């Protein structure tokens, strides 16, 4: 019986000191303001488990907001991920074949609710571990995008994080790691593809990793404007991301209208654990958004995000079968994307409830078009207790370079199921308890199901999972 190789990735100590430096700066350098401001601290814990022992994630996170004597508002948040399990390598469900380690260099081608301010955030990892696709964001623990951080207009409950990122493991080698260079010439060695697990038809590989990420932001009210800046840092054993974003929120119409504009830059660097060369990529994003109070019980939010990514966008651990051989996938080295988001919050007075509806459309130069529909109902069953059923539907088309197997001389190729034609559905329920006006506790459970639409990709590629979340929010 074949066994899956396991790669254990350790966490460098420097990230902990960096995290502490950010916290010390927030809490000691900037003196707290003791009047007017309602400071807050929040904490959450997430447990995510895919079926068939695929991926397991433990993810505590915290956030802190304080206002200084001079009127500056500082926000600090951090998250830790412990991720273990097995994930598809990209190889088709067949007997193992030889891996050619040569990677060709990608060639560039082409009560009364209040309005919610769209926010710009940077440096947050997605489930691709490296690339910046729009993959179903129900798989993401935190999305690096520009949609508003939505809170219930009635409950003021903190939004639950989505499941955590699942980094792809290195292709296990039976010989020395392969090497290549950015000029396209390379030396090669033969590697054995990861064999399927005994309970799986598809090639899987075990992995273990941890991640620390921190954001620190400053903003201040200046007349009708609230300019702000945020710096972000995220590190894993093979990955480092730093980012900077700026934005301004402008009030109009007696604060019933908020216009938000912003931009973000992120630099990501990667040193693969499988011996491949270090790579990097850069991302630029721009946002314009508006949040409008339509009535005393209705708020409408709309955002437009434009983005560009350049550099190494391929996943350095994923492989594709090309002419009967497994070689590392190769995606274009640049991508543009557009995201349109429209959200509606409606308080339903007779039912003492509110509804949060979101519609999101995504398109990019890779050929992926995606639509998302999310719906949350917040039902107050007592003055201090709320039940919130949640449902979310997502669908996307495949990238132009996706297939299960390739023949001939394709310029770009990927067999990563996350860029295939797929649909996902997540549903669950959240319980919110407010024992005091300044304390909110919540707990929830969600079921996540993904399936393919092309009739070619093996159904076992797509995960199903359970997600458990607990949280607390304290104001003072």
Q: Which pLDDT belongs to residue 35? A: 40
pLDDT number for residue 164: 32
pLDDT at 101: 40
pTM of this structure: 0.76
The CA-to-CA distance between both ends of the chain, in Å, stands at 59
**Judging by DSSP bridges, how do beta strands 98-100 and 72-88 pair with one another?**
unpaired
Number of Cβ within a 10 Å radius of residue 27: 14
Reduced to 3 states (helix: H, G, I; strand: E, B; else coil), residue 166 is coil
Question: Given this model, what pLDDT does residue 94 score?
Answer: 60
CA distance readout (Å), 465 to 51, 52, 56, 77, 428: 5, 9, 9, 26, 12
Contact 381, 356 (CB under 8 A): no
The number of residues making up the chain comes to: 476
Q: Are 50 and 44 in contact (CB under 8 A)?
A: no
Q: For residue 228, what are the CA distances in angstroms to 71, 147, 231?
A: 12, 16, 10
CB atoms closer than 10 angstroms to residue 222: 10
Helix (H/G/I), strand (E/B), else coil: 4: coil
Pairing of strands 319-322, 279-295: unpaired
Tell me 23's DSSP state: H
Name residues of the chain where pLDDT drops below 50.
Answer: 1-36, 95-114, 116-198
CB-CB contact of 390 with 446 (8 Å):
yes
DSSP 128: T
Give me the pLDDT at residue 199, please: 57
H-helix or E-strand containing 84? Answer: strand 72-88
Per-residue exposure over 277-297, b if at least 16 CB sit within 10 Å of its own CB, e if not: bebebebebebebbbbbeeeb
- C-alpha span between 315 and 127 (Å, rounded): 11
β-partners of residue 240 are 235, 269
pLDDT tens digit sequence for 376-431: 999 999 999 999 999 999 999 999 999 999 999 999 999 999 999 999 999 999 99
User: What is the rounded distance in angstroms from the CA atom of residue 108 to the CA atom of residue 162?
Assistant: 33
From residue 107, give the alpha-carbon distance in Å to each of 268, 309, 331, 412: 19, 14, 9, 9
Q: Which residues contact 382 (CB under 8 A, 6 or more apart)?
A: none
Q: What is the pLDDT of residue 273?
A: 87
* H helix or E strand, kind and range, residue 191: strand 190-192
Walk me through the domains of the chain, giving residue ranges and CATH numbers.
Answer: 6-475 (2.40.160)
- DSSP secondary structure letters along 334-403: EEEEEEEEEEEEEEEGGGTEEEEEEEEEEEETTS-EEEEEEEEEEEEEETTEEEEEEEEEEEEPPPTTB-
């Amino acid at each position: 019986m074949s066994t899956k190789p396991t790669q254990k990735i350790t966490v460098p100590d420097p990230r902990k000191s960096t995290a502490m430096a950010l916290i010390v700066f927030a809490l000691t350098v900037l003196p707290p303001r003791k009047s007017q401001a309602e400071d807050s601290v929040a904490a959450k814990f997430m447990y995510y488990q895919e079926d068939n022992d695929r991926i397991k994630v433990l993810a505590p996170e915290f956030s802190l907001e304080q206002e200084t004597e001079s009127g500056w508002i500082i926000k600090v948040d951090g998250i830790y991920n412990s991720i273990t399990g097995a994930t598809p390598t990209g190889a088709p469900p067949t007997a193992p074949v030889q891996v050619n380690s040569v990677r060709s260099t990608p060639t560039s081608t082409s009560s009364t609710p209040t309005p919610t301010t769209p926010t710009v955030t940077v440096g947050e990892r997605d489930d691709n571990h490296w690339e910046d696709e729009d993959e179903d964001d129900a798989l993401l623990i935190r999305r690096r995008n520009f949609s508003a951080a939505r809170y219930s207009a009635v409950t003021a409950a903190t939004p639950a994080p989505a499941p955590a990122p699942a980094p792809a493991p290195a292709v296990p080698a039976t010989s020395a790691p392969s090497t290549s260079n950015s000029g396209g010439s390379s030396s090669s060695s033969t590697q054995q593809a990861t064999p399927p697990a005994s309970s799986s038809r598809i090639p899987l590989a075990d992995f273990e990793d941890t991640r620390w990420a921190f954001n620190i932001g400053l903003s201040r009210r200046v007349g009708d404007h609230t300019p702000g800046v945020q710096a972000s840092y995220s590190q894993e054993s093979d990955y480092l991301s730093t980012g900077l974003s700026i934005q301004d929120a402008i009030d109009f119409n007696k604060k019933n209208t908020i216009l938000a504009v912003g931009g973000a830059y992120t630099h990501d660097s990667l040193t693969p654990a499988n011996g491949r060369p270090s790579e990097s990529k850069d991302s630029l994003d721009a946002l314009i958004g508006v949040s409008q109070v339509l009535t005393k019980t209705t708020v409408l939010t709309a955002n437009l995000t434009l983005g560009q990514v350049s550099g190494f966008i391929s996943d350095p651990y994923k492989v594709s079968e090309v002419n009967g051989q497994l070689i590392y996938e190769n995606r274009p080295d640049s991508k543009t994307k557009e995201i349109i988001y429209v959200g509606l919050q409606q308080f339903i007075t007779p039912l003492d409830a509110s509804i949060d509806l979101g519609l999101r459309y995504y398109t990019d130069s890779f050929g992926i078009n995606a639509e998302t529909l999310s719906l949350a109902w917040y039902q107050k069953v007592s003055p201090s207790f709320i039940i919130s059923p949640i449902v979310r539907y997502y669908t996307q088309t495949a990238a132009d370079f996706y297939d299960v197997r390739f023949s001939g001389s394709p310029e770009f190729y990927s067999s990563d199921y996350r860029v295939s034609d797929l649909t996902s559905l997540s549903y669950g329920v959240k319980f919110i308890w407010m024992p005091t006006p300044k304390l909110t506790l919540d707990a929830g459970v969600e079921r996540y199901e993904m399936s393919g639409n092309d009739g070619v990709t093996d159904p076992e590629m797509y995960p199903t999972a359970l997600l458990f979340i607990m949280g607390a929010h304290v104001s003072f």
